[in-house]
A and B are shown apart, each in its own frame.
Chain A
Amino acid sequence: MGRKEFETLTPQMYYILLALKKPRHGYEIMQEVSDLTHGQMKVGAGTLYALLPRFEEADYIQLKEERERKKIYQLTAKGRKKLQEEYLRMEKQMHHYREVFGYEEKF
């Protein structure tokens, strides 16, 4: 049985939404994701520009303005809530890991 769209976020989706705490256009989002993760995570231009309209349709982000033919987006309240849900989901996963392998395990 498959999952519904955006039921869980991929890492790319998660970081794109995080980067949109402040209004940004596409290229700025890519740079912000790279900065935020210290270069560990990069979002491809194709991936980003395919996801932005989908996020907008899902009401996770909104178009704030269009400047020099660049669309500037910002996170919405619904998008923020989605990020919180994702955070809690991942926290729960970590908790389950600790329950299985113990809290004293060191990496």
Chain B
Amino acid sequence: MKKNFKYIKMTPEMFEDHILVSFLEQQAQEGWIFSQVTDYLLLFKKEQPQLLKYQWSYQKMDDEFKQVIMALGYRVVCHIDGMSILVSDNLQAEELYDDEQSKYMAMAKHHSYAVMILLLLAGLAAFWVFFHPYVLDISLYSKKLSLGQLCLNLLRYMKVLYTSGLFGLYALTSGIYMLYMRLYLNQIIKENGHPSGKLLLRGLKIKTCLKNIYNAFLVLIAGVFAAAYMPLKISQLFAYFAMIIYLIYRFCFYHWAEHFHRRHVALGLCLGALILGTVVSKQMVIAEIEQPLYFEKNIEEVHIHEWSDLLTRYRYVERFDGKNDIDERYVVCLNEAIARIVFQEEIQSLASADHSQIKGVELLDDFYANDVYVVGRKENRVLVFRYRDTAEIEKIIHYYFE
């Protein structure tokens, strides 16, 4: 079957406009018409071979500029990182840039300090939330908490917490890349000199390299999640991650920075929103936290250094006694029984644990166990097990273990 489209990955060299333009024109002559770019993948559609003229525009695509390029016979094919690729059927259409320096001036505008600072701040904030999840903690026994805590907990239940680390990585690396490029472009513009192709290419290589590392990281995370969670979790992870990237990075930063022509206004507004958000989030509210439906007999706090060990043991509980045909209704009870044993083991092994170091509790997902909740998992900190103790469990424990 004949293919109607194809994808080609952009190499760092292709960010050099003349290389990309020549490549696209050559593809058009072979009947592959460039139509879109997604995540540095160029999409081509099969059509009749054509002679087209492509141009790379670094200019902000406002109404006035759009009218001018249309008058010159160009139309916009797509946008990449705030820049645009234009095409014209007229091979004699005027070049957009006839002065190298002006090109770098336009490029510098895409590496604004405001966006850079916002990215770095957002990245650090996301990492902070990721590494300090106790800020999201709520106590199941307290109904009074701050509005911020409530919102953050809602976010956590929406699985957004998992994505904060990824977003942090993305935002920080993007911010560092932008800083590198901006400083380099400033130097070229100020000195009115010719850019060093090597340096520029190095910047672009850093960018694609970061993107690749980031993608690899995503795949790794996906693998970890695939091993530890259900496929549904993976889809959730990517869905929320995509949402965050789209909403925060694309919309807020670029849209705000572009909308308010002066970048410092956008930065001021963001900082203002941050201050206002902080003040509002500190307001105390009375929230109805849903209490666990089961009866909690024991609540203890212990330090556990290898939470994954517990999790591993716990995940295979259904095969604990070597039988595959355990009645479904007993599985829960078995889980509880095992949790109880593990819990007691941990208590004994960590009898001298310094409980004053306990920072708080965090209610995690239910993993594969329906009845035991692991509380706190970061920095080898606190784990709290809650388990119910019913007459039925006692019977099951007796049946299986005694």
A residues whose Cβ falls under 8 Å from a Cβ of B: 1-8, 10, 12-13, 25-27, 30, 42-51, 53-54, 69-71
Contact = CB atoms under 8 A, between A and B. Distances in A.
Contacts of B322: none
B99 A47 contact: yes
Contacts of B292: none
Contacts of B19: none
B129 interface: no
Contacts of A12: 98-99, 102
21 contacts: A2-B190, A2-B191, A2-B192, A3-B191, A4-B190, A5-B190, A6-B192, A7-B192, A10-B101, A13-B99, A26-B65, A27-B68, A44-B94, A44-B95, A45-B69, A46-B55, A46-B97, A46-B102, A48-B102, A53-B109, A69-B63
A5 B191 CA distance: 6
Interface in B179-213: 187, 189-193
Nearest to A9: B192
A99 B65 CA distance: 46
Contacts of B192: 2-8
B46 interface: no
Interface in B73-109: 94-99, 101-103, 105-106, 109
Interface string B59-72: 10011110111011
B292 to A, nearest CB: 60
Nearest to A51: B102
A46 B72 contact: no
A75 B187 CA distance: 27
B59 to A, nearest CB: 5
Contact of A46 (B59, B62, B189): B59
B15 to A, nearest CB: 16
A4 B190 CA distance: 5
B63 to A, nearest CB: 5
B54 interface: no
B102 A50 contact: yes
B190 to A, nearest CB: 5
Nearest to B194: A2
Nearest to B66: A69
A27 B96 contact: no
B94 A54 contact: no
Nearest to B72: A45
B106 A46 contact: yes
A3 B190 CA distance: 7
B58 interface: yes
B80 to A, nearest CB: 15
Contacts of A43: 98
A12 to B, nearest CB: 5
B57 interface: yes
A1 B94 CA distance: 33
Contact of B99 (A4, A5, A8, A44): A44
A82 to B, nearest CB: 14
B102 A71 contact: no
Contact of A44 (B64, B97, B105, B193): B97
Contact of B59 (A1, A50, A71): A50
A69 B109 CA distance: 21
A53 B259 CA distance: 16
Interface in B323-362: none
A51 B106 CA distance: 8
